[in-house]
Amino acid sequence: MKKHLLLLLALALASMSGYSQVQITELGQDAVIDFTGFAATGYSATPTAGQLNSNNWAMSGLTEAPLEFGQESSTEEMTRGLTDGSGVNAGGLYAFDDGSNQMLWIQPTAAVFTPGELILKVCNNSGEDATSFDISYDITVLNDGERGNNFNFSHSLDNENFIIQPVLDFVSEELPDSAITTTEKVLGSIAADIADGDCLYLKWSGGDLNGSGTRDEFGLDNILVRMMNQGAEDPSAGFPPVPLSTPEGTLSQIFIHISEPADCDYEVIILEEESTATELEDFELLTPIISFTADNGTTETLKIQTVDDLIVEEDETIAMEFHSLTPGCAVTNASTTFTIENNDFEGSSLADVIQEDADGIGLALGEELAVQGVVHGINLNAFGVQFTIMNEEGGIRVINNTSTFGYVVEEGDDVIVSGVVGQDKGLTILQAVSIVKSSSGAALSTVTTVTEMSEETESQMIKMENLTIVNPEVWNSPMEASGFEVIVNDGTNNHTMFISSQSDIFGTAPPASSFKVTGIGGQVDPTAPFLSGYRIEPRYLSDFEFSAPQPVSIGFALSNLEVNEDAGTLPLTVNLSPNNTGSDIQVDATVSALSSATEGSDFTLENTSFTVSPGNSDSAEILLNIIDDLDNEATETVIIELSLSSGGANAVLTNELLEINISDNDPVSVEDAKLFSLQTYPNPVSDRLFVSSEADLDLLELVNLSGQVLISTTNLQDQAELDVSHLPAGIYLLNAFINGQIVTEKIVKQ
């Protein structure tokens, strides 16, 4: 059974997989595509499990020809298979599956989906004509690329003339941070005459928008389509005509729709005798009154907060009725039953959970259970949770890459974790589905001093002594986003030590003398038998005991920064650690001769000299004032370099250079624009527009007269071809970015 948090749409709607027939059989009823079971194994008009149904979906932007409705494809780009959101490189169509949710997933590249289109066909088979429709969906982005990409929505009644909905436009962040974020897009009461038997075409268009280099990954999920006929005499509202459910401990937001904008109040009443759940004990109805106004759309939200009670029990139900409080406001679907799904598992002994066979393979893999233990260490995951719990029976790593369940990791917390037992590169883990804190300030496990690591040291507090760094050159050079490994030697043998990018150790200088270190035992062994790859993972800088005082590590918090010319004053942080135990250290910041920007006319610096006194282990700030000079110019670079003018014996520079790229924000003058010519033909154009220049085209943008970017493409040579066949007839502006200049041409679309 698929266990996940049903948020917003999925709570109120009928489930429909991404490869089943998509049709509306009753106006006002929802068609929902949540991609349950989708595995990106192909594209077919007669799909097997995991494939996309080509009767419902069309796609363009692949290296092969556009895939029309009813066609077949089993190319690599259409059969990329599963990804858990940890990052992929090859362009194409994937199925996201993190163990709790599935969605359609796209990795754009220079050759794939830049630009590209996904088209979903939804047919009206209700026996009635529809006059409008509602659309909502979730966009999930893994921001691991160096570009900003768009993912915009439009719709059509003939699959040729598409109407753009700017309110649903979406652009990913240009600067990568490897964060996974989900944005809900909703638009209701879109006018469209969809006759019975006709189809509605929904299109998501993607392409490059800004930046250069790699591209973000996009997910599409929880697509809701509702067709309506607004001809009813009285406005009416009611519960969604589908089963409603959610796991314990979640805020459920259920969309309530009224047939037309009107001033109507409704009341939701709990039927206690028919409910097995108890109000306030199992749930709380947060919005018992649902109010619509004539000037505020046709959708309101019913909110129910369920309680995670930690009791292993049967699913519980809430029986509800919907009553009108306003004369002339009708009720449809007046009653419903809301199910609270139990998410608590039977408690298990940690000793049983972590048992392994002779090859290091867990014996409880796949079991759903709950364990209790004390949190050790920090949260190693910036976007979910990854920490270790221990008790007198042993320890286990707790992981969820997409949710924290509202829990903030704190060492010493006593927690109860429910989840599924798994194995990650040899390390036994618990894939969490809920985390509940029962108390704080619990005692930590005893630290054991070891000279070798093994299965017995996994997820245990251990200590190693008389260590030196074998390869200090890799210190602070992450081999993966989560941190880096270094080799340490105890005078006899080499061992592996892992430094998390989330710890206060990351960014400091490598130990300059021998040391003792305390940490949690880990393992990274990609193949069975899982009997190697053991490592020690210190939690904090305080886990190190040095045989001699350590120098203060001084360096910029960032290596690169991209800003616009109108950014104003920017604080540039310099990190300092550990405590200065020697004399004063004088730090100076100077502008490198390699900078292309000019100090005084393009920027100024403040606080360029500061002192690190004994006991100081915080940070300092240098102020960069960017001057908006109104001159049209190419991107300019400021390189700031740190140096030590005194006290250098007590310090080491770890990240002494900071490069700031300043993008110009000034328009190109007519005189400047004449430096490059731009040819466009045919103009007027009906389908394909050809563009050429005497110099390479850095970026082409086609915008409407409202300034909305409709087409964007980059990494061009001196010629380009744009498909404008889907755009409505009218006047557009083509902006060509050439060598730091912008040349604009008027384009007439027939």
What's the pLDDT band for 21 if we cut at 50, 70, 90? low
Q: Which of 297-301, 411-415, 547-551 has the highest mean pLDDT?
A: 411-415
Residue 617 pLDDT > 90? no
> Domain 350-439 is classified in which CATH homologous superfamily?
Nucleic acid-binding proteins (2.40.50.140)
What's the pLDDT band for 385 if we cut at 50, 70, 90? very high
What's the pLDDT band for 6 if we cut at 50, 70, 90? very low
Query: Apex CA 398: angle with CA 392 and CA 399, to 5°?
Result: 175
Residue 1 pLDDT > 50? no
Q: Of all residues in the chain, what percent carry a pLDDT higher than 70?
A: 93
Q: How far apart are CA 338 and CA 244, in angstroms?
A: 5
Q: Which of 69-73, 446-450, 646-650, 676-680 has the highest mean pLDDT?
A: 446-450
Mean pLDDT score, 329-346 = 86
Contacts of residue 99, defined as CB under 8 A and 6 or more positions apart, other chains included, come to: 84, 420, 431
What distances in angstroms separate CA 287 from CA 260, 391, 392, one per listed residue? 21, 42, 45
Mean pLDDT score, 667-674 = 45
Q: Of all residues in the chain, what percent carry a pLDDT higher than 90?
A: 52
Mean pLDDT score, 257-272 = 92
pLDDT in tens, 76-88: 999 999 999 888 8
pLDDT in tens, 414-436: 999 988 999 999 999 999 988 98
Query: Checking DSSP bridges between strand 394-400 and strand 427-439, what pairing results, if any?
Result: parallel
> Pick the residue with more confidence: 705 or 273?
273
Helix (H) or strand (E) holding 671: helix 670-673
Residues in the chain: 750
Residue 722 pLDDT > 50? yes
81: left (phi over 0), alpha (psi -120 to 50) or beta: left
What's the pLDDT band for 59 if we cut at 50, 70, 90? very high
**Range list of β-strands (E), 356-482:** 368-376, 385-391, 394-400, 414-424, 427-439, 448-449, 461-469
Residue 671 pLDDT > 80? no
Q: How far apart are CA 99 and CA 3, in angstroms?
A: 8
Eight-class DSSP state of 167: G
Query: Apex CA 42: angle with CA 38 and CA 44, to 5°?
Result: 100
Eight-class DSSP state of 296: S
The architecture CATH gives domain 552-663: Sandwich (2.60)
Residue 632 pLDDT > 80? no
Provide the pLDDT for residue 153.
94
- The answer to whether 156 and 129 are in contact (CB under 8 A) is no
236-341 maps to which CATH number?
Answer: 2.60.40.2030
Provide the pLDDT for residue 253.
87
Q: How far apart are CA 750 and CA 711, in angstroms?
A: 17
Q: Domain locations in the chain?
A: 9-228, 236-341, 350-439, 448-546, 552-663, 670-749
- The answer to whether 672 and 573 are in contact (CB under 8 A) is no
Residue 310 pLDDT > 60? yes
Q: What is the domain class of 9-228 according to CATH?
A: mainly beta
Mean pLDDT score, 465-469 = 95
Provide the pLDDT for residue 706.
61
Q: How far apart are CA 623 and CA 120, in angstroms?
A: 51
- The answer to whether 662 and 603 are in contact (CB under 8 A) is yes
Q: Do domains 236-341 and 670-749 have the same CATH topology?
A: yes
| pTM of model > 0.85 | no
Single-letter amino acid code for the residue at 280:
L
Query: Checking DSSP bridges between strand 130-142 and strand 217-228, what pairing results, if any?
Result: antiparallel
- The answer to whether 32 and 138 are in contact (CB under 8 A) is no
Provide the pLDDT for residue 411.
97
Provide the pLDDT for residue 351.
93
Provide the pLDDT for residue 10.
30
Provide the pLDDT for residue 39.
94
- The answer to whether 526 and 545 are in contact (CB under 8 A) is no
pLDDT in tens, 145-179: 999 999 999 999 999 999 988 778 899 998 888 89
pLDDT in tens, 194-241: 999 999 999 999 999 888 889 999 999 999 998 888 654 678 899 988
- The answer to whether 152 and 170 are in contact (CB under 8 A) is yes
Lowest mean pLDDT among 37-41, 174-178, 287-291, 638-642: 174-178
Lowest mean pLDDT among 204-213, 452-461, 604-613, 718-727: 718-727
What's the pLDDT band for 16 if we cut at 50, 70, 90? very low
Residue 46 pLDDT > 80? yes
CA torsion angle 717 145 208 94 (round to 10):
110
Contacts of residue 24, defined as CB under 8 A and 6 or more positions apart, other chains included, come to: 31, 122, 123, 124, 125, 126, 130, 225, 226, 227
Helix segments in 227-384, DSSP class H: 350-353
**Range list of β-strands (E), 143-216:** 147-156, 163-164, 180-194, 199-211
Residue 437 pLDDT > 60? yes
Provide the pLDDT for residue 604.
95
Task: Provide the total of helices (H) and of strands (E) in the chain, helices listed first.
Answer: 3, 54
Mean residue pLDDT across the chain: 87
- The answer to whether 421 and 367 are in contact (CB under 8 A) is yes
> Pick the residue with more confidence: 96 or 673?
96
Query: Checking DSSP bridges between strand 552-556 and strand 651-655, what pairing results, if any?
Result: parallel
- The answer to whether 113 and 157 are in contact (CB under 8 A) is no
Provide the pLDDT for residue 663.
87
Q: Say which CATH topology domain 448-546 has.
A: OB fold (Dihydrolipoamide Acetyltransferase, E2P) (2.40.50)
- In 10 A of CB 738, how many CB atoms? 23
Provide the pLDDT for residue 569.
93
**Cis preceding-peptide flag for 682 (omega within 30 of 0):** yes
Q: How far apart are CA 265 and CA 224, in angstroms?
A: 25
- The answer to whether 68 and 128 are in contact (CB under 8 A) is no
Provide the pLDDT for residue 18.
39
Q: How far apart are CA 486 and CA 510, in angstroms?
A: 10
Provide the pLDDT for residue 7.
28
- The answer to whether 484 and 474 are in contact (CB under 8 A) is yes
Provide the pLDDT for residue 707.
65
CATH number among 1.10.10.10, 2.60.40.3080, 3.40.640.10, 3.40.50.880, domain 670-749: 2.60.40.3080
- The answer to whether 711 and 724 are in contact (CB under 8 A) is yes
pLDDT in tens, 511-542: 888 999 999 999 999 999 999 999 999 999 99
